[in-house]
């Protein structure tokens, strides 16, 4: 539990962490010790209170930094974004938003395996799903985002955001590439058995 | 309207968390955990600060120079906090405000009809 608390502390803005991270970890340990002494064990309610208090305050501190520094300085100084990261994130934003809409709509229909027909029908009538536009945000933008973020990978020392964008971009490219391939292979294996994997892969590739 | 107090205008009331933190530091300097325990004691358990809320408030009070940080000689892992002159001035302004409100309530015989334990900070 202490390790989880310490890990969450790392989500505070750097300036805040530098000043209070160690002390907050010590106070958390003191609170845990008190809880064990008074209750015999650490109860779920206690953890819920402490962790929710922490998460709310992480957001508050980020919001305060955003208000104090403005968006540009906040992204660059607090979150260590560079220009490549910002452009990469802008390029990934359409597919990020549409993936989120797709995911939420699947949850609302309580069937994660199939897309939500109502949402899909609505979206497919918009310009986003016209072929050249679809190709741009679903394939070209993620590829550009990945290529752009290869530059700061070798140029800067703070690489956390760059790695995150690279993984996100490559993940989207893989998702698009394997969108129909993976479900096809899974279905084939269930239907025909794992010993038929090679013909199944060949079939799914051509399908 | 923002609920956060602008400490440059001492007429605005303090939030309960900030009031109890200043109250705990008014008599002696304390470390974070000490402040937390004292606030719990002083408020009879009504104001419970988690570490996130406590250090968020401390940061703001330190930035506004109401509270000063001090390294501990006995325990290098902990830092002690003490009230500055500005912090004491603002705390006393708040106490005066409470005192005036209570005097007024007594004069109007309002305190006889309500229990003091139900008085909520405004």
Whether residue A94 is found in the same domain as residue A169:
yes
The nearest alpha carbon in chain B to A25 belongs to B51
Is A204 a member of any domain?
A: no
Distances from the Cα of A163 to the Cαs of A62, A71, B47, in angstroms? 21, 21, 42
Is A196 a member of any domain?
A: no
Chain center to CA of B11: 15
**Cα B10 to Cα A53: distance, rounded to the nearest angstrom:** 28
Is A198 a member of any domain?
A: no
Q: Is the pLDDT of residue A54 over 90?
A: yes
User: What ipTM is given for this predicted complex?
Assistant: 0.78
Among residues A56, A78, A100, which one ends one of the domains?
Answer: A78
Q: Is the pLDDT of residue B1 over 90?
A: no
Kindly indicate the confidence band of residue B115, based on its pLDDT and cuts at 50, 70 and 90.
low
**Cα A187 to Cα A193: distance, rounded to the nearest angstrom:** 10
**Cα B1 to Cα A21: distance, rounded to the nearest angstrom:** 31
Whether residue A156 is found in the same domain as residue A88:
yes
Q: What is the pLDDT of residues A107-166, one digit of tens each?
A: 888 877 777 888 888 888 888 888 788 888 888 899 999 999 988 888 777 777 888 889
Whether residue A123 is found in the same domain as residue A172:
yes
Lowest mean pLDDT among A6-20, A51-65, A149-163: A149-163
The upper half-sphere exposure of residue B122, i.e. CA atoms within 13 Å in the direction of its Cβ, equals: 8
Q: What is the pLDDT of residues A162-201, one digit of tens each?
A: 888 899 999 888 887 777 676 677 778 878 888 888 888 8
Number of independent structural domains in chain A:
2
pLDDT at B55: 94
Whether residue A142 is found in the same domain as residue A106:
yes
Report chain A's mean pLDDT, rounded to a whole number.
Answer: 85
Cβ atoms within 10 A of the Cβ of B4, count?
Answer: 11
Which residues, at least 6 apart from A35, have a Cβ–Cβ distance to it below 8 Å?
Answer: A41, A42, A43, A46
Is A193 a member of any domain?
A: no
Is A120 a member of any domain?
A: yes
Scanning the structure block, which residue is given the tokens 């490549």?
A84
Is A42 a member of any domain?
A: yes
pLDDT at A10: 85
Of B32, B50, B53, the CB nearest to A23: B32
The nearest alpha carbon in chain B to A30 belongs to B33
Residues of B in contact with A26 (CB under 8 A): 32-33, 77-78
Q: Is the pLDDT of residue B3 over 60?
A: no
How much is the average pLDDT of B80-102?
92
Q: Which residues of A touch B (CB under 8 A)?
A: 16, 19-20, 22-24, 26-28, 30-31, 49-50, 53-58, 60-61
Q: What is the pLDDT of residues A23-39, one digit of tens each?
A: 999 999 999 998 898 88
- Are the C-beta atoms of A168 and A92 separated by less than 8 Å? yes
Six token digits for residue B57: 């408030």
How much is the average pLDDT of B26-42?
92
pLDDT at A88: 92
Whether residue A74 is found in the same domain as residue A113:
no
Whether residue A157 is found in the same domain as residue A125:
yes
Six token digits for residue A179: 């969108």
The nearest alpha carbon in chain A to B35 belongs to A27
**Domains, chain B, with CATH or none:** 16-118 (1.10.10.10)
Whether residue A139 is found in the same domain as residue A171:
yes
Q: What percent of chain B has pLDDT over 90?
A: 51
Kindly indicate the confidence band of residue B114, based on its pLDDT and cuts at 50, 70 and 90.
low
pLDDT at A75: 79
Whether residue A124 is found in the same domain as residue A41:
no
Number of H helices, E strands in chain A: 11, 0
How much is the pTM? 0.66
What is the distance in angstroms between the Cα of A139 and the nearest Cα belonging to chain B? 42
Q: Is the pLDDT of residue B25 over 80?
A: yes
The nearest alpha carbon in chain B to A54 belongs to B52
Determine the structural domain holding residue A169 and report its residue range.
Answer: 83-177
What is the distance in angstroms between the Cα of B52 and the nearest Cα belonging to chain A? 5
Q: What is the pLDDT of residues B39-80, one digit of tens each?
A: 999 999 888 889 999 999 999 999 999 999 988 777 777 899
Whether residue A117 is found in the same domain as residue A148:
yes
Among residues A10, A43, A78, which one ends one of the domains?
Answer: A78
Taking CB atoms and an 8 Å limit, are A24 and B36 in contact across chains?
A: no
Taking CB atoms and an 8 Å limit, are B51 and A31 in contact across chains?
A: yes
């Amino acid at each position: 539990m202490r390790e989880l608390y310490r890990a969450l502390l790392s989500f505070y803005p750097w300036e805040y962490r530098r000043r209070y991270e160690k002390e907050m970890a010590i106070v958390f340990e003191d609170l845990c010790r008190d809880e064990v002494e008074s209750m015999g064990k650490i109860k779920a309610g206690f953890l819920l209170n402490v962790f929710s208090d922490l998460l709310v305050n992480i957001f508050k501190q980020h919001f305060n930094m955003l208000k104090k520094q403005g968006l540009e300085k906040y992204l660059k100084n607090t979150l260590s974004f560079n220009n490549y990261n910002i452009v990469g994130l802008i390029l990934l934003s359409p597919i990020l938003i549409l993936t989120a809409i797709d995911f939420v709509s699947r949850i609302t229909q309580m069937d994660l395996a199939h897309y939500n027909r109502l949402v899909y029908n609505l979206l497919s009538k918009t310009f986003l799903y016209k072929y050249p536009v679809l190709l741009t945000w679903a394939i070209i933008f993620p590829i550009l985002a990945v290529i752009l973020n290869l530059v700061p990978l070798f140029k800067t020392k703070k690489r956390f955001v760059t790695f995150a964008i690279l993984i996100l971009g490559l993940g989207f490219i893989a998702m698009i590439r394997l969108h129909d391939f993976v479900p096809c292979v899974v279905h084939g294996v269930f239907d025909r058995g794992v010993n038929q994997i090679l013909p199944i892969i060949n079939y799914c590739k051509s399908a | 309207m923002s609920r956060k107090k602008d400490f440059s205008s001492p007429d605005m009331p303090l939030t309960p968390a900030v009031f109890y933190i200043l109250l705990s530091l008014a008599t002696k300097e304390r470390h974070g955990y000490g402040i937390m325990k004292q606030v719990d004691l002083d408020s009879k358990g009504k104001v419970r600060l988690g570490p996130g809320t406590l250090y968020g408030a401390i940061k703001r009070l330190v930035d506004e120079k109401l509270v000063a940080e001090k390294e501990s000689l006995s325990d290098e892992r902990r830092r002690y906090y003490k009230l500055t002159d500005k912090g004491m001035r603002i705390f006393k302004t708040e106490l005066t405000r409470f005192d005036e409100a209570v005097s007024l309530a007594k004069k109007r015989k309002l305190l006889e009809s309500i229990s003091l334990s139900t008085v909520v900070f405004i």
